[in-house]
């Protein structure tokens, strides 16, 4: 019953999205991974650049980490892009096509239940239920479910129920319809209940309990506070950058030389740090140029950008610094705040 109403609603209200014009599992995979990071309007642009650069599995398998991170720049969760690259390389090496069935999809690196269910139901109409934030909201409201959606036990309840509700046919359309319905009609704030095709079935609506659904348990883990001091050092019209290699945020992206953990850096600290990079230097000037606050899901960052003027006599060996021409900044993937800072600098 619900599936019929959702399919009917979807037929009328379906969003015209470019990846909905294909059943190619590779392209659906790209769209699904991108949309886990961002909203549709932003994701569409990333999807188009991705498919332009890597139109199929073979082209992606030949790509480099730097190229995929450049396309992913600004999306966050960069390990997802790296996993996509690894997956493509492995599949092509083993002479395999990109799969479209759940059983093979779930074995791929970086593909979880949601992505495997979405791809297999869209491409093959496999009877797999998808559970994203929109689906949780619609189902929790229609059935007035009090189980929290961010606990293992709560998720199990929703998984069972969403599976039961699947139609026998048009599973892909139904799954996409349910997600669209949550995003456009049964919205977080001000759902359109009066004109809702599900209102006669919706328990929360009848009980006037919509505001309490879905339920989430509040997590109280405090966010980690971090202070980053980035040093903008330009020598002979070339900018010093380095690749982040530690298992931390922004792994494998590029950044400016960094002193972490101090609110304000002193000349002594700066000399100490720079002497790890160069054998012989003279500091001509250093000023704080800009401070920004950057929020990540588990961290609050204060980022200071410093203008540093130095005279270098000799760079230390074995230091992974790169001297890049200012105009080639666009060839390197940077975390969003650094990219913005550098672009602002180049455009002033």
Q: Which residues are catalytic?
A: 32
Phi, psi of 124 (to 5 degrees): -125, 0
Interaction of residue 196 with ligand SF4, rule CB under 6 A:
yes
* Letter string b/e over residues 54-80, b meaning 16 or more CB atoms within 10 A of that residue's CB: beebeebbebebebbbbbbbbbbbbeb
Interaction of residue 28 with ligand SF4, rule CB under 6 A:
no
- Quick one: 92 or 198, whose CB is closer to ligand SF4? 198
Among 7, 17, 161, 193, binds ligand SF4 (CB under 6 A): 193
Size of residue set near ligand SF4 by CB under 6 A: 15
- The span from the CA of 150 to the CA of 200, in Å, is 28
Q: 292-299: which pairs have CB atoms within 8 A and are 24 or more residues apart?
A: 292/337, 292/341, 294/336, 294/337, 296/76, 296/249, 298/221, 298/223, 298/224, 299/223, 299/224, 299/225, 299/226, 299/249
Least CB distance to ligand SF4 at residue 143 (A)? 10
Interaction of residue 204 with ligand SF4, rule CB under 6 A:
yes
Tokens at residue 227, please? 């202070």
Tokens at residue 344, please? 């602002």
Interaction of residue 118 with ligand SF4, rule CB under 6 A:
no
Least CB distance to ligand SF4 at residue 250 (A)? 38
Among 172, 191, 214, 335, binds ligand SF4 (CB under 6 A): 191
Contacting range for ligand SF4; rule: CB under 6 A; set: 166-174, 193-201, 282-290, 314-322: 193-201
Phi, psi of 259 (to 5 degrees): -115, 120
- Quick one: 124 or 141, whose CB is closer to ligand SF4? 141
Interaction of residue 20 with ligand SF4, rule CB under 6 A:
no
Greatest Cα pair distance in the chain? 78
Binding mask 168-187 for ligand SF4 (x = CB under 6 A): -----------------xx-
Interaction of residue 8 with ligand SF4, rule CB under 6 A:
no
The strand pairing partners of 257, in sequence order, are none
Interaction of residue 198 with ligand SF4, rule CB under 6 A:
yes
Rule CB under 6 A: which residues touch ligand SF4?
A: 138, 141-142, 185-186, 191-193, 196, 198-199, 202, 204-205, 210
């Amino acid at each position: 019953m619900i599936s019929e109403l959702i399919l009917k609603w979807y037929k009328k209200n379906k969003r015209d999205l470019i990846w909905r014009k294909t059943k190619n599992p590779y392209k659906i995979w790209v769209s699904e991974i991108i949309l886990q990071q961002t909203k549709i309007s932003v994701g569409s642009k990333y999807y188009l650049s991705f498919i332009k650069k890597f139109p199929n599995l073979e082209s992606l398998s030949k790509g480099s980490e730097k190229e995929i991170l450049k396309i992913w720049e600004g999306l966050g969760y960069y390990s997802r892009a790296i996993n996509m690259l690894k997956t493509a390389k492995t599949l092509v090496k083993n002479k395999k096509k990109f799969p479209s069935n759940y059983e093979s999809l779930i074995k791929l690196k970086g593909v979880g239940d949601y992505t495997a269910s979405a791809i297999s139901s869209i491409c093959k109409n496999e009877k797999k239920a998808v559970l994203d934030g929109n689906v949780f909201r619609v189902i929790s409201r229609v059935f007035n479910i009090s189980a929290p959606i961010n606990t293992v036990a709560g998720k199990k309840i929703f998984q069972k129920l969403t599976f039961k509700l699947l139609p026998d046919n048009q599973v892909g359309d139904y799954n996409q319809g349910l997600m669209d319905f949550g995003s456009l009609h049964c919205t977080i704030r001000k759902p359109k209940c009066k004109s809702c095709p599900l209102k006669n079935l919706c328990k929360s609506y009848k009980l006037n309990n919509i505001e309490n659904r879905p339920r989430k348990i509040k997590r109280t883990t405090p966010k980690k506070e971090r202070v980053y001091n980035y040093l903008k050092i330009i020598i002979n019209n070339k900018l010093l950058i380095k690749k982040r290699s530690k298992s931390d945020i922004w792994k494998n992206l590029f950044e400016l030389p960094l002193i972490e953990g101090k609110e304000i850096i002193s000349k002594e600290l700066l000399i100490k740090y720079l002497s790890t990079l160069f054998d012989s230097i003279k500091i001509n000037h250093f000023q704080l140029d800009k401070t920004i606050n950057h929020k990540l899901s588990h961290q609050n960052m204060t980022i200071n950008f410093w203008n540093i003027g130095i005279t270098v006599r000799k760079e230390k060996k074995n230091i992974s610094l790169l001297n890049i021409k200012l105009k080639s900044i666009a060839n390197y993937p940077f975390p969003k705040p650094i990219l913005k800072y550098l672009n602002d600098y180049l455009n002033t």
